[in-house]
Amino acid sequence: MDRHGQTAMARAALSRPVALALKGGLLPSGATVFDYGCGRGGDLQRLRALGYDAAGWDPVHYTDGEHRPGDVVNLGYVVNVVENPAERADALRKA
């Protein structure tokens, strides 16, 4: 079953992985963030509002997003939905 894009929820707040990264001090002030598999881009908008330089890409919902390096790369809801091991490894390399 192809579940790509199904975890891309519209959220009113940061996703749990990003919120926990902020709370845990993993996103220092001034860090650049790349969200690989950013879904509908909600985390990007919220991170930018917090002053982060955030970019993202998603194969279903954000195909025009910019692929670029980041000090922090989020794959919070990517690896768990990619069932094919070769495709999962490819996603990790690309991220």
Q: How far apart are CA 45 and CA 49, in angstroms?
A: 6
pLDDT 10s digits, 9-36: 667 789 988 999 999 999 999 999 999 9
Residue spans per domain, the chain: 29-94
How much is the pLDDT for 1? Answer: 40
pLDDT score of 8 more than 70 = no
How much is the pLDDT for 2? Answer: 46
DSSP 75-88: -TTTTTT--SHHHH
